[in-house]
Amino acid sequence: MTAAAIPAAPVRARRPWVVHSILPGFGLSLGITLAYLGAIVVLPLIALALRPWELGLSGVWHELASPRVAKAFRLSFGLSALAALVNAPLGLLIAWTLTRYRFVGRRVLDALVDLPFALPTAVAGIALTAIYAPTGPLGRVAAQFGIKTAYSPLGIFIALVFIGLPFVVRALQPVLQDLDAEVEEAATTLGANAFQRAFRVILPALAPALVSGVSLAFARAVGEYGSVVFIAGNLPGKTEIAPLLIVIKLEQYDYAGAAAVGLAMVAVSFGSLVAINALQLRLAKRGRA
Amino acid sequence: MTAVGTPARETRLPGAAPLLVLASALVMAALVLLPLLVVFGDAFAKGVPKYLAAIADPDAVSAVKLTLLVAAIAVPLNAVFGVAAAWCIAKFDFRGKGALLTLIDLPFSMSPVVSGLVWVLLFGAQGWFGDWLIEHDVKIIFATTGLVLATILVTFPFVARELIPLMQDQGSDEEAAALTLGASGFTTFVRITLPNIRWALLYGVLLCNARAMGEFGAVSVVSGHIRGLTTTLPLHVEVLYNDYDFVGAFAAASLLASLGLVTLVLKTGLEWRHSGELSANRRH
């Protein structure tokens, strides 16, 4: 045997690019995937990433720091965060009810949770506007107390709560379902009251899922357009959301400006997803410890 | 979803149960159910004849046709891509898989408006290929092609995301057995893989289709809102609403809401009957 004839070094030095398999079709399926991904996602994103810089670095900064854009960003991110945070207790309540109690109509209620996903955004948008307009069923009530709902930041907030609720409920449900009853029982035996059980036993176990649900709701809310644009009123600097600015800039053929706003939105939502993933890992570790 | 079936256990706080159930029901009714009721209520506000007239309006009919056309192109393309992507990611081990998965998921974290914007940056009048397109008299933006591209980008991950975790769970033992016994690759795929993933594939296609037909933000950017030509049904809703034709807008919206309801019923049915054959990590 001449072992030296076949050098072992290259095999050991690097993991092969693809592990050999008996199954066929790797080249074909990867080829289709890469070609389609390249044409539909990568090429358009390259255009988005490059286009703003024709304004120059200072031009892009000028664009993003202009009062109108800065205000729209503050409004979009602020209200999205607020709506996602409000969805935490709401989602917890609904997920808890759906997993812990048996009642008539539970399955219907469970299916209804997905309605904000199922209803096209434009439909949700005009329906919410009709409800919260000064003449609408709930808007009229609020108006009697002097509260303006539609065409105000409060209206945007309501639409964002609507669109984010399923994310939180659906993130919590499986965890609540799997939560070990023995842990709660042990806590009870050791003298923990309901309050202590909720805050020292159940909530820490739910924390990673809750963070995940809230962050998904937030990410969705930041980019949301259809369900918000009708109820917002779209007053520049007051009720104008960031995605709407892109539309307005495109209508003025300001491609670079629109791309700058779009790129900033993608960067921030991608960055926050990465940050939240890290937070979630830490919470999961602590929950297990 | 995962939570159907009987609840794991009863609570030890009997007094709180009715209150919490009532609170949940109230939140859901006011926040989620009311918008649905308002759509149908306002659509029929001026009576059935007005509703029917709004549905039969030529612009509404062409909007429905355009919506069906766009979905008929976008959904099969994304389904084929989803199967191909799931096949290479779930059945093979290769480098860069993580990056590939991230890229596939990326469209979900993009604003729909951005998903429309990128196509304008490429094919708009002042886009990268704008001059070439004008020279050769090809219209993409403000035309059906643009609507299709925007819809494809928005619904890109639906099928792939449904299939990848399921096919990873299923492994490739059955396919390997078939191949060893002499079946061709194609036969193996059609007789072994497809039956294994059919419910998940249907589930992904269902969600992909609902989103494709209901998409608003992305198509609104590339459409130009040319009545009867480039207005899909959601855009038709917007045009009528902005014209203060509320019966017309809500009548068109009622069609879309019905689509959403049918999707919801089919989706819930699939979850109840075939939960074992659907992947667990669903969010959209």
- In chain B, residues with a C-beta closer than 8 Å to the C-beta of A273 are 109
The rounded distance, in Å, linking the Cα atoms of B107 and B156 is: 7
The hierarchical CATH code for the domain B42-277 is 1.10.3720.10
Number of domains in chain A: 1
Q: Render pLDDT for A4-15 as a digit per residue (tens, 0 to 9).
A: 455 444 445 566
3-state helix, strand, coil in chain B (%, to 5): 75, 0, 25
Q: Render pLDDT for B119-176 as a digit per residue (tens, 0 to 9).
A: 999 999 999 999 999 999 999 999 999 999 999 999 999 999 999 999 999 989 999 9
Q: Evaluate whether residue A134 is within a structural domain.
A: yes
Report the mean per-residue pLDDT for chain B. 90
**In angstroms, what CA-CA distances link A9 with A4, A13, A17, A20?**
10, 6, 16, 19
Of B27, B128, B149, the CB nearest to A90: B27
Which residue, among B262, B260, B247, has the nearest Cα to B40 in the 3D structure? B247
Residue B6 banded pLDDT, cuts 50, 70, 90: very low
Residue B7 banded pLDDT, cuts 50, 70, 90: very low
Kindly determine whether residue A123 and residue B237, on different chains, have CB atoms separated by under 8 Å: yes
The better pLDDT of the pair B151, A216 is held by: B151
- In chain B, residues with a C-beta closer than 8 Å to the C-beta of A194 are 12-13
Q: Render pLDDT for B79-111 as a digit per residue (tens, 0 to 9).
A: 999 999 999 999 999 998 888 998 998 898 899
Kindly determine whether residue B234 and residue A253, on different chains, have CB atoms separated by under 8 Å: no
pLDDT at position B226: 87
What is the ipTM, given to two decimal places?
0.89
Domain ranges of chain B: 42-277
Q: Evaluate whether residue A156 is within a structural domain.
A: yes
pLDDT at position B5: 43
Q: Evaluate whether residue A222 is within a structural domain.
A: yes
Kindly determine whether residue B122 and residue A259, on different chains, have CB atoms separated by under 8 Å: no
Whether A188 has a pLDDT exceeding 90, the answer reads: no
Q: Evaluate whether residue A2 is within a structural domain.
A: no
Kindly determine whether residue B156 and residue A90, on different chains, have CB atoms separated by under 8 Å: no
Contacts with B97 (C-beta within 8 Å, 6 or more apart), sequence order = B89
Residue B13 banded pLDDT, cuts 50, 70, 90: low
pLDDT at position B102: 87
Residue A213 banded pLDDT, cuts 50, 70, 90: very high
* Residue numbers of the domain that contains A75: 57-288
Q: Render pLDDT for A58-102 as a digit per residue (tens, 0 to 9).
A: 999 999 999 999 999 999 999 999 999 999 999 999 999 999 888
Residue B252 banded pLDDT, cuts 50, 70, 90: very high
Q: Evaluate whether residue A170 is within a structural domain.
A: yes
The rounded distance, in Å, linking the Cα atoms of A109 and A223 is: 27
Of B175, B259, B264, the CB nearest to A23: B175
Whether B4 has a pLDDT exceeding 50, the answer reads: no
Q: Evaluate whether residue A28 is within a structural domain.
A: no
pLDDT at position A186: 84
CATH of the domain at A70: 1.10.3720.10
Kindly determine whether residue B87 and residue A127, on different chains, have CB atoms separated by under 8 Å: no
Which residue, among A96, A88, A70, has the nearest Cα to A236 in the 3D structure? A70
Task: Using DSSP, state whether A102 is helix, strand or coil.
Answer: coil
